[in-house]
Amino acid sequence: MATYIKLKITDKTNMELAQSARLMVSADYKERFIAEYLQVSNRLAGLKRILAAWDDPQIVLGFTPTCPRATYNFQVKAMQEYKDILEVRAKIEGIDLYSITISATAGVYDVYEEQAPVEDIPPEV
């Protein structure tokens, strides 16, 4: 019997990329859309964490960035705009990005849409 973890996805950035990989090949475009959103959210959060660490003199990055800081800033801006566009499209297309259930058996992840409470949907969307 499968074990399911109910996730209220408000911090999608903590979701591992591997968890969304199976969705990327789904026949259901809504599942592919959710996976794309989760992946861009995860990658954006990771880049923001690196830049925050870069700005903190108390933290040593462990690597030397190869691009100028302005290049990374431009990338964050582009990724944030893309994420925002996906959120608007999801609202228009009726795709719930905010509450999903993931099967946690043997590294296989299935996503099932659930209705998110209205108060959980950001008003800016």
- Number of domains present in the structure of the chain: 1
**8 A C-beta contact, residue 3 and residue 105:** yes
**8 A C-beta contact, residue 5 and residue 100:** no
pLDDT in single tens digits along all 125 residues of the chain: 443 334 344 444 445 667 777 778 878 888 889 889 989 998 999 999 999 999 998 888 888 899 999 999 999 999 999 999 999 999 999 999 876 655 443 333 444 444 343 344 344 43
Q: State the residue range of the domain holding 49.
A: 4-120
DSSP secondary-structure letter at 25?
T
CA gap 29, 89 in Å, rounded:
13
pLDDT of 57: 86
What SS3 class is residue 27? Answer: coil
User: Is 40 a domain residue?
Assistant: yes
Helices (H) and strands (E) counted in the chain, each on its own, are 3, 3
User: Is 23 a domain residue?
Assistant: yes
User: Is 80 a domain residue?
Assistant: yes
User: Is 125 a domain residue?
Assistant: no
> pTM value?
0.66
User: Is 81 a domain residue?
Assistant: yes
